[in-house]
Every structure is written in structure tokens, then in C-alpha cells.
Amino acid sequence: MPKKIEKLFTSYRDQLVHLAKLYGVVEIKSYARSAKRLTISQLELLLIKNKIKLPVNRSSDKAMLKQELKENSIRNAYLSFAFIFLIACFIMMRPYIKNVVNEVKFSHVTEEYKSAKISKPKKTKKQNSNTVEENLPDNSNTISLNAETTSNLFDDLGYDLKGVRAGQKVKPIYLTKLPKDLNKLGNTKKKRELFIKIILPLILDENEKITEDRKKLFKILGKNFNTVGERVWLKRRFKQYKIEDKDLSKLKMRMDIVPVSIAIAQAANESGWGTSRFALEGNALFGQWTWSKKGISPKNKDPNKSHKILQFQVLKASVRAYKNNLNTHKAYQEFREARAQMREENDKLDGLGLTIYLKNYASIGEKYVSILQDIIEKNSLTDFDKADLLPTKLKTGVAL
């Protein structure tokens, strides 16, 4: 190769690459397409193989070895960096992977229960206690598990109240109906705990929705200009919380959660820990009254009263109606004001303290408050005021 041409190259390797391209070495083109970097030795072998004379200023074996060592060191450094990066990504993704695994397990177990337990009821005088009854007509998926099956389901999912009290997140599994044989467990701790396990996710889910709405409300209140979508959203919330004059201060006061301890205590008292006729036949957890045709008439009702107990197709609807009742009815204005005051002072709600403002919920007044406080204290229900649902991609959890 002429000296003038050799001077155009900064290294011996560049000369080899130029010769390979000049003589059209096929292997060089294929390696170039795959973005693979060849070493000096490999380039020399390809040229010799194609009977191409090597440049006269061929590097010494020592220089070649040094160059190859340098190239290998750079390549190894890149590989090491890539490996460390992958390990770091795996460590960072571990909580997410664990959550996904838990979600898959959760979905698998609940779907297994649904497919294994749902069956058409047979027209026999006595139902087998180990079967699941379909309680709604047509194509409804709402079912009623018996107490033993429900308890086993929770155990399989690792859902226990002791763990929740210690900070474990609650699995978002929503039973659509109460077990009809819950009363067979007697007035025992087991019955009460199973009842709490059933309604706790339902209460937390409704509270979570309210909390998300509350965050959005405060975000809107903090802006100088609201979009069309935000104004439409506000209009719907005013209607939901029955605020005709569109007073934002009223909306702020009404749009808030009901402490879990209060909701559980009221559900326990009104439904007899899930064993009352209204709870089993109409999913009525909170004994709300109605004067419409869609209700269950009390057996020993005062002839001068025409009310019925409001019934629902699923338990979650009962929880939603209950919270809407406390957040909108004028009888609980004092409750909402006390709750707002607590928010102003430390942003935390005292479930036990708020019970004194619920005397209007029952005709027995102050005695009703004492009953609620007794239920909360004896069952340590304030432990659940800090409970949270397990985050999951299954936005509505699994309903059974």
C-alpha cells in the first residue's frame, strides 16, 4: 500500500478495514450489518483467507496483543455495566413483581372458588350446607357462600384480622351476599371475626372512592381556572351529595369518609352481626328505611308506620347507600360538622369520638350511642380505622 494512503489512517486496524472494504470481502459486510466489532487478528485472518496482502507496517505481535487486550477490556466493561444495570432493575422491580404474583395468586384462588362452588340450586326440601346457592335470577353472578367455605377462602388468601391489625393490607375480595348459615356459629368470636372480614373490604372500597374524589375536589379548589371536564365533574358531585345551591364549602364537608370502626359497629348492630332477616334476604346491613315498594316489611311493625327496610341486590350497594345517607341527610349535619372540625385540627378522624353525633340514627338516641361505643371498644374496631386495601390492577377486586 502506498505511503500516502497509509498516512490517511490513524491506526493499523483502520488500514485492515479499508483493505477489506476495498477488495469487497463478503464477511466484513455481514459483520458490519450485525454491528459486530472484529479484532485486529480476526481482520488479518479474513484478509489472508481472501489472499489479500497485509499492510507493510504490520504491528508487532506485542502491539497487537496490547490492542486486543484494550478492546476486550472495553467490551467487558460494557458487559459488566449492563449486568449491574439489569440487577438494579430487578431489585427495583421486586416489589412490583411481588404485587403481581400476589394478584395472580389472589385471582387464581378466587376464580377457583367461583368455578368450583357455583352450581344451580336443586329443588329439594333441604339444601346441602356445602353447596353455594344462586340468589339472583337471570344471569347474575351474585352467590352466597356458606360460612365454612367463606372462612376457608379467606384462609387460602392469607386474609386474617390479626395481620390487618398489624398493618397488613386487606385483600379486595367482595362478597355479594352474607353466608346464610352464619348464625350457626353462635354468638362467638369466630362469627364476629368472619362478619368483619366480609364487610371490611366493602367499607374500605367505598372509603377509597370517596378519598379519591376528595383529592380531586381539593385539586380543583386550588386552581384559578377549571376545565369543562372539571365543571361537569363538580356538577355531578353536587347532585350526588344533594347540594342544590352548589355551595363548595358544603361539598367539602359532605365529601368525606365514614370511619371504618363506626361503619362496622353500625352494621354489626343493625344486622345482628350478619344474621338478621333483612341482611340475609335483602343485603340490608344498616337497617335503612324506605317507603317505596322495594323493601322488606318488619314482622312486628307498628301498624301506624308504613316504612320498610331498604333492600339491595349486593352488599356493596348497602354500604354505598349507608355512606350516602350519613353524608347527605339533615339528621347527621352535626356528625359532618364534627368530622370537618377533626379534619381541620389534625386531619385524622376519631371513630369512637364521632359516635356521639349519631344519636339520631335510632329512636333510642343516647342509648344507641352507648351500644355503638360498646361494640367498638369490646371488638377493638378502631384498629381498622387505619386499614388499607391491597393495591391491585383488578380495580373492582373479585366479587363472590
Three-state SS letters, 193-212: HHHHHHHHHHHHHHHHHHHH
What pLDDT, on a 0 to 100 scale, did the predictor assign at position 324? Answer: 95
Give the angle subtended at the CA of 196 by the CAs of 190 and 199, to the nearest 5°. Answer: 140
Q: What's the pLDDT score for residue 319?
A: 95
Distance of CA 11 to the CA centre of its chain: 61
Give the integer Cα–Cα distance in Å for 346 and 77.
54
CB 284 within 8 A of CB 248: no
Section 109-129 average pLDDT: 43
Crossing angle between the packed helical segments 260-271 and 366-378, to the nearest 10 degrees: 110
pTM of the complete model:
0.67
The more confident residue out of 30 and 39 is: 39
| Sign of the dihedral defined by the CA atoms of residues 264, 270, 273, 274, in that order | negative
- pLDDT level of residue 33 (50, 70, 90 thresholds): low
Question: Can you tell me the mean pLDDT for 91-114?
Answer: 57
Mean pLDDT value across residues 326-332: 95
**What 3-state DSSP class applies to 129?**
coil
Please say whether the structural domain 128-399 has been given the CATH code 3.40.640.10: no
pLDDT of 68 reads 58
Q: Mean per-residue pLDDT for 134-138?
A: 34
Residues in contact with 282: Cβ distance below 8 Å, sequence separation at least 6, in sequence order: 295, 296, 309, 310, 311, 312
Per domain, the residue ranges of the chain are 3-59, 73-117, 128-399
- What does the pLDDT read at residue 17? 80
- The pLDDT, as a whole number, for residue 303 is 62
First to last CA, the chain: 83
Residue 337 pLDDT exceeds 80: yes
Average pLDDT, the chain: 80
Q: Comparing 174 with 264, which gets the higher pLDDT? A: 264
Q: Which percentage of the chain shows pLDDT scores above 90?
A: 42
178 contacts 283 by C-beta, under 8 angstroms:
yes
